[in-house]
Structure 1
């Protein structure tokens, strides 16, 4: 029931985000024919209409209004699209070049209208009825004479009753494809401005939310560096947030209109290239057994190679390799989805929430990749062409995925707090019992002065018991970490003086969190008690010491013990715990509780400390866990 409520919450949260992915306002869709749109029967004041369809096309000609009538038209072309898809004289047009487009539309009345102009590849001038109303960069006939600039903008003008003329000059020598990939939208000034401002507000909201979530996860990693997942997730959120300001409404170019085109393009491309290995590392840190290490390394290597190419080459060079990286990205996205499905099939805890967020992130990322790839052509159905026209879907998908991950994080914190509360109540009950015992002894001492000596003796006994309790773990009754810290120093100094070896076994219960999640914390405590009792009763020498080091971790300290003997003892303990046959269906090792053991052995010297012994055993334990668990690993 709880999972169904969370799923419903995610679906509700998706509605405004996915709705915000499209900036289109419903209006009758009419396409230009032979360079003409007839709006004589339509009032444009309260509508927004894309100026799609057939435009007049003048290739390798930069013509101003008034010059087109005396010039030879290359033909009519579908707009918007890259001019690389056009053919003149049975030859494909190259990406580098310049052209003039013209569209005429018939207005029913004199009114103030506006155009919403998207990013143009890569410089343009735009006239309406002979008046220059918008431009970006510097138009030129060669790479040296033009200046590229991305600058989406709004341009207002006064439409005349009858025929109106729109003329656009475009030049491009900095991108593999030139022209205009997104629709120019025409409508009332208020409607167009509202469309622009709503788009900016939505993208700034996504940017702010992703930045906050990213910084929050980086702070989590800063305060607890054992788990790298918050680091990778925080970096991914920040990379997507930066890219959000450079796609869609491209608010960054509005803030910094003089920003170098080369620098901006490199930043946008690097944000995309680096996001792929970062998200792969995040998924591997969350589900380490489901991603193949070779694929993870390939993703990191290719991203590093492509990033170096972006940094060292100009825009028209490194953008040529984009399609190869886009195809590689699609393969990795599909691979991640198959891994997430496998996680769900294995019934990992709350994996369905990861799958839902991953599906949304993957689908929106695929839309962005296809949109930016230029693979869309005129043969695509109108619905597909509409879907694959915006390049900012993945920002919305990433925000939804971030919310899903944050819900999982909140649930994890809630479970941890619940466990701490439960343990606190147990400790409080134990302390209350001790307080009652001390109060009873104190009252007896006060009531009978004749038994002062006897009462003093009893108080000494109580203090002794309290001291013992302070050195014992209340759950397993093993020595606790405080006692270990005292004992290890003495044993280390003794073995240093006598030059005897000292060994340490670092023991960790495999998938203990899964056990608690499946059977409950009370069953988890009973499991730890059985393991602690087994460890204690399996060792017979007075110098051997068994310690509950913390949580599901135990330490066995073996003084005057050689390496081979320590390893044999570790295998013996591994077998004894396996023989307990405590059921554990959530384990990925076997269907009962198992442990992993790291072994270290040293002969103390002046240049070493007992911390080295623990660190080495901890490293050995890490290798035992990453090597498959339920095993013994020794490191010198």
Structure 2
């Protein structure tokens, strides 16, 4: 077998508009690609390392250090249609090898008959390496960086299986393709190191070891891999951010369909980036099948071309060619359908005609539109054309790289980044022009309306006053209507039961049904009437609170003297029932004097007294003589709140207590926890605690209860508090 074709095929030139500029850009990319082949080789190396010759690579006299990554290029042993392992080379009759140049797909190799090898097949590569003494004698391992081997492989180093991708097979059924970058580690020998790679391909057009294999220290190879993955991830992140940005632009301004197209364009190139090169898609989707990764690559490239044509036609519709738009709208979706429904071993063979027959004309058409727009001095056309020239040059590089005509790297993402910068510049320029135009119009308007300013201001003030009056009147009407509606609803819904009871007793007396104990039933009618009257008053108060028709006169007060005054105010009523009445205040309460700091609460004294009065009245109803009612004030530190402290005003009794299932419900309207033994005249309206809850809500506080049946209840109101001195305007 002999190698009769070079590793890279011929490059054909075509005369196109601005070909000179494109060629200059393209030449720069070629030089950059030639430099990137030797990425990682120290600048201190005076000359490149020797290439392999007839399957042997002697680096024993090579100067090296830990910063070097060296490509294993040159002549490797090659065994076509043989899957050999290390044991096969230890036999008495070793296999007969031919020698091929790497990196290159094996379709560039020819057999003795002069025919080139097909892309489908399997083979074994072998290379023996003699490393420099300082590398082989180190205790640290070395590593190989295998970028892409099509389409499945296994690798042995010094007789040990150290890595692989997919499953190597002798036909399409036995092979599982998987050609992602991999780093393998091994401990070198002091003499010759043997490297054996089995490769099979029945899944795509590329076949064999067509990209460089790099050798270096384990740390340096790992760091190189991390840098490549990080760089690709950063580029994908930039595409993602730009896609989101333009998507939000379209979301907020639906007329900007070009923003939507550009967002989709960034997404398409981002998808292509994550499935190529370092294949960062594997980090996001570890179970992604190889077949679908290849489909994503081809579909994203085709979608990029389609979106590019749609975008340029949207940006410069006057320069577009309708026939090209219609044709691309048929051909490109047709190609996408073909890639979607056929397997990779079918559509990958169409890469060359697809690249030069579909993608390249699409790029030329886009460049043609930009040139025409720039010649007509369209806004932003020149900037866009320059950015697109970079993008097109890098796209041309990728076309030649993936059709194995150019030894560079995948660089389309870099070109698109330049294109993105030009579009960002155009967008900012568009906003700047709009702002400048707006400022000019504003200045003209000010100048033309200068003599009308006073009239306009007066009319504006008049309209504002009228509008404010109308809003105030409308708010009052709305509040009144809401108050009336809620009050009528509450009265009609909640007063039906006592009214029905009164009517029943009165009708029984009138009709002579009740002949004995008539005073008893008359008394019931009276008590129900009193309860009805109390309920109506409470309903009015609660409805006013709920509809915000109550005026609260909030002020800062020293809470301790305030509570002492309220306690003394209700002392005669409580003691008249034969109940012990006590008060518990924080330590140091008697130290408050003029000029000293005290605990301050922002409250409405009348409304807080209403809450305390309701709680004391409830305690009186349910506490038997000789019982105890205790009013307590506690100051508690509560981190995370606005003031950091809370004043807890509690009313505790030794009454009958409240069942656990009622403790959450008693603060709702018409909910009562009174046992059946409580007489009607001692029952409340069921609205008092609901009113207390609304008042505490106005104070930015809350109210709660803790109780055990038979052991009494404790109601606590919590209000924000802080320590300080009242100013002169705070004091009543």
TM-score, length-normalised on structure 1? 0.62
Give the count of matched residue pairs: 420
Equivalent in 206, 210, 217 of residue 188 of structure 1:
217
User: Could you say which residue in structure 2 is the equivalent of 1:60?
Assistant: 81
Write the distance in 2 (CA, Å) between the matches of 1:51 and 1:263.
Answer: 31
Residue in structure 1 matched with residue 483 of structure 2 by the alignment: none
5 Å matches for 1:12-91? 22=36, 24-27=39-42, 28-41=48-61, 42-43=63-64, 45-68=66-89, 70-90=93-113, 91=115
1:368 to 385, 398, 404: 398
Please tell me whether the aligned partners of residues 273 and 413 of structure 2 are also in contact (alpha carbons under 8 angstroms).
yes
8 Å contact 1:357–1:400 — kept in the other structure?
yes
| Offset at residue 418 of structure 1 (A) | 2.2
Could you list the per-position Cα deviations for residues 248-281 of structure 1 after superposition, in whole angstroms to 9, with x for gaps in the alignment? Answer: 2111134444321111111111001111011011
Question: SS of the counterpart of 2:200?
Answer: strand
SS at match of 2:57: strand
1:357 is aligned to: 387
What is the CA-CA distance between 1:35 and the residue it aligns to? Answer: 1.2
CA distance in 1, matches of 2:33, 2:379: 30
Counterpart-to-counterpart distance in 1, 2:213 and 2:388: 33
- SS of match in other structure, 1:67: helix
CA RMSD of aligned residues (A): 2.9
Query: For residues 216-255 of structure 1, what are the structure 2 equivalents within 5 Å?
Result: 216-255=245-284
1:108 maps to what in 2? 132
Q: How far did residue 309 of structure 1 move?
A: 0.9
Report deviation, 1:200: 1.0
Correspondences of 1:544-563 after superposition (within 5 Å): none
Distance 1:428 1:437 in 2: 14
Q: Does 1:99 align with 2:123?
A: yes
Deviation (angstroms), 1:430 = 5.8
* Matched-pair contact (CA < 8 Å) for 1:82–1:179: yes
Q: Does the CA contact (< 8 Å) of 2:142 and 2:187 recur in 1?
A: yes
Deviation at 1:22, TM superposition (A): 4.3
Query: How far apart, in 1, do the equivalents of 2:94 and 2:307 lie?
Result: 53
Summarize the Cα distance change of 1:413–1:126 in structure 2 as closer, same or farther, 3 Å threshold: same
Over 3 Å counting, the alpha-carbon distance change for 1:178 and 1:44 in structure 2 is farther
The 3 A distance-change label for structure 1 pair 440 and 350 is: closer
Q: How far apart are the structure 2 equivalents of 1:438 and 1:294? A: 56
CA distance in structure 2 between the partners assigned to 1:325 and 1:425 by the alignment? 56
1:85/1:93 contact within 8 Å kept: yes
Gaps of 5+ in 1: 1-10, 377-383, 443-458, 464-636
What secondary structure does 2:436 align onto?
helix
**CA distance in structure 1 between the partners assigned to 2:459 and 2:392 by the alignment:** 68
1:303 deviates by: 1.0
5+ residue gaps, structure 2: 1-24, 43-47, 467-732
> 1: distance between equivalents of 2:233 and 2:264?
18
Matched, 1:121 2:150: yes
Counterpart position of 1:344: 374
Cα distance in 2 for residues equivalent to 1:439 and 1:358: 53
Distance of aligned partners of 1:357 and 1:29 in 2 relative to their CA distance in 1, 3 Å threshold: farther
Structure of larger gyration radius: 2
In 2, Cα distance between the equivalents of 1:339 and 1:224? 25
Q: Which residue of 1 aligns with 2:171?
A: 142
The structure-2 alpha-carbon separation of the partners of 1:204 and 1:19, relative to structure 1 and needing over 3 Å to count, comes to farther
| C-alpha distance in structure 1 between counterparts of 2:122 and 2:344, whole Å | 18
| Match of residue 318, structure 1, among 340, 344, 347 | 347
Taking the TM superposition and a 5 Å limit, the aligned residue runs for 1:440-519 are none
Contact 1:150/1:253 (<8 A) preserved: no
User: How far apart are the structure 2 equivalents of 1:302 and 1:220?
Assistant: 30
Q: Which whole-Å CA distance do the structure 1 matches of 2:398 and 2:434 have between them?
A: 38
Checking the alignment, whether the CA contact within 8 Å between 1:117 and 1:154 is kept in structure 2 is yes
Is this contact kept in 2: 1:74–1:88, CA < 8 A? Answer: no
Separation in 2, partners of 1:368, 1:351: 25
